[in-house]
Amino acid sequence: MLPVHRDSIDTVDEPLVVQRYFGDEGMSKSGVDLTNILDLPLPSVHQLTIGVLEGGNGEEGTAFGSATRRPTLYGHLKNYFDITDSTNFELGLSDALGSNDNDVSFKTNVLGLDATLRHIISPNQDVKLQGETFYLDRREAEPTIGTTDPTGNFWGGYGLFDFRLSSLWGTGLRFDYVEPIDRLLTDPNKAEIGYTGYLTFYQSEFARWRVQVSHIDKTTGENDNRVFLQGTFAIGDHKHKLQ
């Protein structure tokens, strides 16, 4: 899973797969983790993180059950490569193991793969290509078809293209694909597909405006069209440039 600060993501909302599986704002749960950069005789950097979170999902997430007392274990291996001074590539592998109801531990396994290629054209221009995919293997103690908590395998992912045009402007596109966990309630052959475009105006180092348009084809056959306008401000002594 790409661990990003909420104000650092390139779009107004989280990718659809993150919203559907982990929650509208991602997996916002209390927990503890250990991170270590592996000391390997390689020019690339490899960082391993292992951790434990309280059980359950973020708000509206469906990957795990709702019992907070059954923890979720996770691990992430980040592999980073400086291709040139201006180009770098990051490849991540992750796994999360958690409960999907009150009676069963570690029966939902989420495998993740993420990749980011970034090229810096000039101090005020860069291009980023990012993709992330999740594969869920969900096992119930007593599977019940037609409930909102079925057994099965599901997957989803997104692809993002972000282009910082200048110090003031940036734009990008995101494509989403996700197989909802409750799809048996609708059409099992369908997945939600989303198309998102955005334009960002960086008013100053500490103020940013973003307009985003999203179109989602839902499994129910309905469409969801959304327009967002987002303003982000950094205030106070803690200086943190808006990227």
Strands 192-204 and 169-178: antiparallel
Using the minimum distance from each CB to other proteins, give the nearer residue, 114 or 192.
Answer: 114
The interface region with other proteins, picked from 50-58, 147-155, 166-174, 212-220 by CB under 8 A, is 166-174
Taking a C-beta distance cutoff of 8 angstroms, is the pair 190, 219 a contact? yes
Binder among 66, 68, 87, 124 for other proteins (CB under 8 A): 124
Q: Which of 49, 50, 80, 193 binds other proteins (CB under 8 A)?
A: 80
Q: Which residue in 32, 84, 85, 225 binds other proteins (CB under 8 A)?
A: 85
The pairing of strands 108-122 and 72-82 is unpaired
Residue 47 found at the interface with other proteins (CB under 8 A):
yes
List of residues 6+ apart from 209 with CB closer than 8 A:
200, 201, 203, 229, 230, 231, 232
Q: Which two tokens stand for residue 139?
A: 């096992």
Binding part of the chain for other proteins, among 175-183, 184-192, 200-208, 212-220 by CB under 8 A, reads 200-208
Residue 205 near other proteins by CB under 8 A? yes
Nearer to other proteins, 54 or 82 (CB): 82
| 22-39 b/e (C-beta count within 10 Å ≥ 16 → b) | bbeebbebeeeeeeeeee
Q: Which is nearer to other proteins, 227 or 235 (CB)?
A: 235
CB of 157 to other proteins, least distance (A): 23
If one asks whether residue 78 binds other proteins (CB under 8 A), the answer comes out as: yes
| Dist. CA 94–CA 57, nearest whole Å | 17
Shortest Å distance, C-beta 172 to other proteins: 18
Q: DSSP letter at 237?
A: S
Sign of CA dihedral 193, 185, 141, 153: negative
Total residues contacting other proteins by CB under 8 A comes to 26
- The verdict on 84 binding other proteins (CB under 8 A) reads no
- Candidates 48-56, 76-84, 144-152, 212-220: pick the segment binding other proteins (CB under 8 A): 76-84
Q: Is 226 among the residues that bind other proteins (CB under 8 A)?
A: no
Sheet (strand 125-138) strand order: 31-37, 45-53, 72-82, 87-98, 108-122, 125-138, 152-164, 169-178, 192-204, 207-217, 223-233
121 binds other proteins (CB under 8 A): no
Residues within the interface to other proteins (CB under 8 A): 37, 45, 47, 78, 80, 82, 85, 88, 90, 122-124, 166-168, 203-206, 235-237, 239-241, 243
